[in-house]
C-alpha cells in the first residue's frame, strides 16, 4: 500500500499537484488529507491515554490507527509546502500521533531507536516561495524516517522560487512534475 500524507492546506496547492502527478504514475494509493483527519496535537489527556495503551500492549486501539497505517505502508509520499522555514504544523501533529513506541519504532538498551516500519522509501514533495532550505523540513523528515522508523531511503522532489516576482512559477512546477513522473517510473509499483 502506498500512503499519501497530504499536509497541503491551500485549495490550489502546487505541492499537492506535483505529488499527485507522482502518485498517478506509482499506482493505487491511500490518501490522508490531514486538514480533514482527526489529527490534533497531543494533550495531557491524550498522551496519558496513549501511554497506557502502549504500556498494556493494546496496539489495536483506534487511537493508534494512524501509527499502524504508517508502519504498514510499503511506500510513503509526504506533500508539505515550505512554511516558516519548515512545514505546516499539521504535519508535526501527525508525526506526534504516529510516533508510537512499539509500533513505528522501539528503543534498544543503548537508547538508539530501531525502526519497525515496512516502507522501503519515503518521498518528500515540497514547494517554496523563495529558496528551499531543507534543515528543518526535509532533513528532519529524512532523519526521522531513516534513523527512527527504519525506512531505507528518502528522496526529495522540490519546486522553489515560486513566489518571486519575475519567475515563471508554472514552468518551474511543470519541470518538477516531469521530474516526479520520472522518479515514479524508476520505482517498484505497489498495487
Ligand atoms: C504560512 C506560510 C508560510 C510560508 N513560509 C515560507 C518560507 O518560510 N519561505 C519561503 O520561501 N516561502 C514561504 N511561503 C511560501 C510557500 O512556500 C509557497 O507559496 C509554496 O509554493 C506554497 O505551496 P502550495 O502552493 O502547495 O500551497 C509560505 C507560505 C505560507 C502560506
For residue 86, being part of any structural domain is answered with: yes
Residue 187 has a pLDDT of 57
Nearest residue (by CA) to ligand 1, atom 30, is 83
CATH code of the domain containing 114: 3.40.50.360
Measured in Å, residue 18 CA sits from the centre of ligand 1 at 15
pLDDT beyond 60 at 7: yes
Residue 185 has a pLDDT of 81
Q: Which residues line ligand 1 (CB under 6 A)?
A: 8, 10, 13-16, 81-85, 127-130, 162-163
Question: How would residue 138 be classed by pLDDT, with cut points 50, 70 and 90?
Answer: very high
Residue 71 has a pLDDT of 98
Q: Is residue 24 left, alpha or beta, with left meaning phi > 0 and alpha meaning psi from -120 to 50?
A: alpha
pLDDT beyond 50 at 183: yes
Mean pLDDT value of segment 151-165? 97
Nearest residue (by CA) to ligand 1, atom 17, is 128
How far out from the chain centre does Cα 49 lie?
25
SS (H, E, C) 114-128: EECCCCCEEEEEEEC
- From 16, 81, 158, mutation site for ligand 1 pocket: most ligand atoms within 8 A of C-beta: 81
For residue 24, being part of any structural domain is answered with: yes
Percent of the chain with pLDDT over 70: 97
Ligand 1 nearest-atom number relative to CA 128: 17
Residue 189 has a pLDDT of 46
Cell of 183: 522518479
For residue 6, being part of any structural domain is answered with: yes
- From 129, 130, 134, 163, mutation site for ligand 1 pocket: most ligand atoms within 8 A of C-beta: 129
For residue 61, being part of any structural domain is answered with: yes
For residue 191, being part of any structural domain is answered with: no
For residue 98, being part of any structural domain is answered with: yes
Quickly list DSSP for the chain.
Answer: -EEEEE---STT-HHHHHHHHHHHHH--EEEEEGGGSS-----HHHHHHHHHHHHHT-TTSGGGHHHHHHHH-SEEEEE---BTTB--HHHHHHHHHH--BTTTEEE-TTS-EEE----SEEEEEEE-SS----TTTHHHHHHIIIIIS--SEEEEEEE--TTSTTS-HHHHHHHHHHHHHHHHHHSPP--
Domain count, the chain: 1
For residue 164, being part of any structural domain is answered with: yes
Give me the domain span that covers residue 19.
Answer: 2-186
Amino acid at each position: 500500500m502506498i500512503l499519501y500524507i497530504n499536509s497541503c492546506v491551500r485549495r490550489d496547492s502546487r505541492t499537492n499537484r506535483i505529488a499527485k502527478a507522482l502518485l498517478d504514475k506509482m499506482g493505487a494509493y491511500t490518501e490522508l488529507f490531514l486538514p480533514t483527519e482527526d489529527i490534533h496535537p497531543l494533550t495531557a489527556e491524550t498522551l496519558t491515554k496513549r501511554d497506557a495503551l502502549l504500556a498494556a500492549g493494546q496496539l489495536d486501539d483506534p487511537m493508534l490507527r494512524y501509527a499502524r497505517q504508517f508502519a504498514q505502508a510499503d511506500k510513503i509520499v509526504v506533500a508539505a509546502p515550505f512554511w516558516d522555514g519548515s512545514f505546516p504544523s499539521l504535519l508535526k501533529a501527525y508525526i506526534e500521533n504516529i510516533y508510537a513506541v512499539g509500533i513505528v519504532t522501539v528503543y534498544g538498551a543503548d537508547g538508539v531507536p530501531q525502526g519497525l516500519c515496512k516502507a522501503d522509501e519515503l518521498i518528500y514533495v515540497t514547494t517554496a516561495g523563495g529558496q528551499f532550505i531543507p534543515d528543518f523540513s526535509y532533513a528532519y523528515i529524512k532523519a526521522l524516517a531513516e534513523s527512527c522508523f527504519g525506512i531505507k531511503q528518502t528522496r526529495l522532489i522540490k519546486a522553489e522560487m515560486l513566489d518571486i516576482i519575475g519567475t515563471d512559477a508554472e514552468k518551474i512546477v511543470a519541470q518538477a512534475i516531469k521530474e516526479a513522473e520520472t522518479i515514479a517510473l524508476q520505482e517498484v509499483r505497489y498495487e
